[in-house]
Amino acid sequence: MNIKSNITKLHYSNEKNFLYNILWLPSLLYGFIVNFRNFLFDKGILKSYSVNANVVSVGNLTTGGVGKTPLVAEIAKYYISKHEVTAVISRGYGGKLSSKNVNLISDGDKIFYDAKMAGDEPYWYAENIKGLIVITCSSRVKAAEFAIEKFDVKNIILDDAFQHRKINRNLNICVIDSEKRFGNEKILPQGPLRESMNNLKRADKIVIISKGSKNYNKVLEFANEMNAIVCDAAPCEVYNIKTGTHLADNETITAICAIGQPEQFFKFLYPRFNIKRKIVFDDHHMYTKHDIENINMPIITTEKDAVKLKDLGADNIYALKLRLNVNCKELLND
């Protein structure tokens, strides 16, 4: 287990070992910087800018996957179903394109970059949501102005932007995982929090993603405490990424992923499939043929990982599709 895995394990446990203790000071310094930056925004010393579009931000307080991507997708599909020009803006983390530039990944019709260049999440949006404009840039303001000027965009969805306060938003959504929640409730790197929990007050809506929790009543109790909306994420079909054919249940498989919270992915697969081997890579890992060579059984991965694996030429790769049950009309106050 590498240092990153050890830190992630520490974030979601009550263990206070040597590593926990030595991360106390870096966590204190990081927390001070984040709190001071928030103070400057709160007092108007650092400015936030408005753009001429409806802006919805979807983000979270913690590191790792909590369910932002499927929620962003459902919101985008909702606006597009109303025939409203919509763009998703992402930082493009993990992609090779410079985040300093405004990068047009898709104009809603044509995709201009592959997953390695664009990043896995922006490419997944572009490939799976017809009619969606996808842009990457570290400056959400600059990207939003580009989208409005070039495409006359009506709706802009900011992917993973809860901490990005330079752009004003009409709706600020914070997403929480029903099981992981806030981990040990410590600030990075001692815990998984990007900022302190009292900053949840910036959220207009809190969404709890319930991923097949065995005790759903506890999820509802937590949601009531947080004054939050619960959205259920559930696995549905498992399909071949080249042919689209479905994989039958009870097959013996290898499960591969490179996501923030891999344990949940494995829970979705078991006991539906016989998992002979689990392979976990760092979040946003860019796959090579070496990663999957000599695996002769079916390989199941996430849809986010599938966009990076499809160009490797293998015939035995399947993606698990998740269904998110969310009432976008209610969520968006539309």
Q: What is the pLDDT, as a whole number, of residue 269?
A: 95
Average pLDDT, the chain: 94
Same domain, 88 and 106: yes
Same domain, 83 and 172: yes
Token pair recorded at residue 265? 């992915």
Same domain, 252 and 320: yes
Same domain, 183 and 262: no
Q: What is the mean pLDDT of residues 120-124?
A: 95
Residue-wise pLDDT for 11-27, tens only, equals: 988 889 889 999 999 99
Residue-wise pLDDT for 212-245, tens only, equals: 767 788 888 988 989 999 999 989 999 999 999 9
Domain residues for the domain of 256 are 234-324
Q: Residue 133 falls within a domain, yes or no?
A: yes
pTM value is: 0.93
Could you identify the residue written with the tokens 């499939």? Answer: 273
Same domain, 271 and 192: no
CA dist 38 → 60, 166, 168, 189 (Å): 15, 11, 14, 19
Taking the C-alpha atoms of residue 15 and residue 8, their distance in angstroms, rounded to an integer, is 12
Same domain, 182 and 258: no
DSSP per residue, 118-135: H-HHHHHHHHHSTT-EEE
Same domain, 99 and 180: yes
Residue-wise pLDDT for 123-157, tens only, equals: 999 999 999 999 999 999 999 999 999 999 999 99
Same domain, 199 and 303: no
